Amino acid sequence: MIVNHYRLRSSVRTYNLGGMGCSAGVIAVELARDLLQVHRGARALVVSTENLTQNWYLGAERSMLVGNALFRMGGSAVLMTNVPADVPRCRYRLAHVVRTHVGADDQAYDAIFEMEDVTGARGVKLSKNIMDVAGGALKRNLTELAPLVLPLREQARFFAHLGLHLWQQQRGWAWAWRGGARGASGTSDPHRRRGAGASRSTPSRPPRPLLPAGTPSASASGPSSTAAALGAAAASPPGPYVPDFHTAFEHFCFHTGGRPVIDVLEKALDLTTVDVEASRYALRVYGNTSSASVWYEMEFLEAAGRMRSGDRTWQLAFGSGFKCNSAVWVALRDVPPAPDVIREG
């Protein structure tokens, strides 16, 4: 359609990435980057669209009706180039693209699935487990992205937390085996089974362990309570370390998969309301425009006058498959604000 409308020359190569889901925009950016690395002195136009007509569901299955209410028509276009003469006009430089595909897992594969209902009506089914699947895909994506973008001091904190976690786990299980299972339970000591006093070879009390903050002491609760508390502490190690992503990015553009998706990302990544304002704006004004949504958010950041030279922007998009894809852009110059572009829905 684009080639025909603008009467482009026949040497222009076109690629259709239909069926890639809401993360197709980031996938197309990666494909364009790979092509530009091979073909010097070239430009690539990336067009992301959401077309509801093809997958509009006319049946009555609730899990397949969600898509009708969630998605909206939308589109965006981004011009990428490797022509040196174009650099003064470029706004951004593509720094990283990280793609994660977990389709080998059946639960992830079925999370977003095009199918027919019992009446034969075709549509897209959204699984109730989609948030769990997205969380697992995001974790794998961040595992690969974090070393590329986080400063060394933040990576050092991560490994320090990991080492402390492993040390606490080993200490907890070791004490639970020596003191709790063998001495405090009262079932494996032969002298206790006979009702006799403890033998001379048995220590008067087990060595005092290092207790996590807030754990009751042995003097207050007795050895049995201490063993139970340590067993619980060993079975419940500290939560995963959340890096400070503000050390890597100034702006965040998360795919507008819905308000719960944005809420979960804001909480899980320890972000502020300002960090996710662009995502909430795009969702409120335009709805879920699928793969084009991350560019609606970039437009908001530019129009609000927040994009400055050197700023780093993280685009994150989820898609069927199941996929989680990230793109990192670095601003090459200040983008003048355009408040007239910002709409209120």
pLDDT in tens, 93-139: 999 999 999 999 999 999 988 889 999 999 888 888 888 999 999 98
In the block, which residue shows the tokens 């003191």? 179
> Could you count the other beta carbons within 10 Å of the beta carbon of residue 62?
9
Query: Could you list the active site residues?
Result: 22, 101, 251, 255, 288
- Within the chain, which residues score under 50 in pLDDT? 175-230, 233-235
Residues in the chain: 345
Strand partners, 92: 331
Burial 209-220 (b: 16+ CB within 10 A, else e): bebbeebeebee
SS3 content of the chain, % helix, strand, coil (to 5): 45, 15, 35
Is 133:322 a contact under the CB 8 Å cutoff?
Answer: yes
Is 308:68 a contact under the CB 8 Å cutoff?
Answer: no
pTM: 0.76
Q: How far apart are CA 15 and CA 18, in angstroms?
A: 9
Its sign, for the CA torsion 31, 33, 34, 39, is positive
Is 55:124 a contact under the CB 8 Å cutoff?
Answer: yes
Q: Would you state the structure tokens that stand for residue 1, as one six-digit string?
A: 């359609």
Q: Would you state the structure tokens that stand for residue 253, as one six-digit string?
A: 């553009």
Q: How far apart are CA 218 and CA 196, in angstroms?
A: 23
Distance from chain centroid for Cα 4: 38
Say what angle helices 277-286 and 293-303 make with each other, to 10 degrees: 110
Is 218:197 a contact under the CB 8 Å cutoff?
Answer: no
Q: What is the pLDDT of residue 160?
A: 81
Taking Cα atoms as reference points, which of 66, 114, 115 lies closest to residue 258? 66
Residue type, 300: F
Q: What is the pLDDT of residue 172?
A: 60
Q: How far apart are CA 181 and CA 208, in angstroms?
A: 15
